[in-house]
Amino acid sequence: MGFYSNVIIPFFYDSSMDSKKINEGRKSILSKISEEDILEIGFGTGINLKFYPDNVKKLIGIDSNNGMLKQAQKKINNGRFQIELIKQGGESLPFPEYSINTVVSTYTLCSIKEVTAALKEIYRVLKPGGKYYFLEHGLADNPNTQKWQHRLNPIQNIWADGCNLNRDIKSLIENSGFNIIEMKNYYMKRDPKIVGYMYEGIAIK
């Protein structure tokens, strides 16, 4: 990762991703967590920390970006629960099979290069019956919007540091072995449709 990925993106990340309209989705999905131990893939700068419910006791945050983790470190010193940060990509998780109760990802599957490998890793490390909570943007439900997502995806991929507009999140999750037990789709308020089609849900192993 170069200067743009490790310095510029982390510096401006919170100003673009810690907004009221985006955080409505974070609050919605994270408030449903009933488990105590969490693995968050794509931890970023730690925006989600303030939205985890009080029952959470321990969180492991995984991210491949050093700049993101440096920003996150500033937020965890006064955390409400135990937090461990690990520099690691989602495609190869440093945990044994069947060792994790709960996994979370928000605005992450869009930018993991080998997203299928990452989802299979999430499935591998989860215990049987373990839950995967997700909040992701991706391929819209409207053919005309999809057309523009495909057209503009190469540009988005460059300027947004690997982010993809056109990933079918539901299919990716289900094809990795998960059973989606709850999901809602919606367009983010006041966002262009090509970037604002959301997948919010819970999948079970």
User: pLDDT: is 13 or 37 the higher one?
Assistant: 37
pLDDT tier at 10 (50, 70, 90 boundaries)?
low
For strands 197-204 and 126-137, give the pairing: antiparallel
Per-residue pLDDT reduced to its tens digit, 72-103: 998 887 678 999 999 999 999 999 999 999 99
What mean pLDDT do residues 47-75 have? 93
The yes-or-no verdict on residue 3 having pLDDT over 80 is no
The yes-or-no verdict on residue 1 having pLDDT over 70 is no
46-69 CB burial, b ≥16 within 10 A, e <16: bbbbebbeeebeebbbbbbbebbb
Average pLDDT over the chain, rounded to an integer: 93
Name, of 2-16, 62-76, 163-177, the range with top average pLDDT: 163-177
Domains in the chain (CATH in brackets) are 3-204 (3.40.50.150)
What mean pLDDT do residues 127-141 have? 98
Q: For residues 205 and 132, what is the distance between their CA atoms, to the nearest angstrom?
A: 8
Q: For residues 123 and 36, what is the distance between their CA atoms, to the nearest angstrom?
A: 19
Q: Which of 7-11, 81-85, 135-139, 177-181 has the lowest mean pLDDT?
A: 7-11
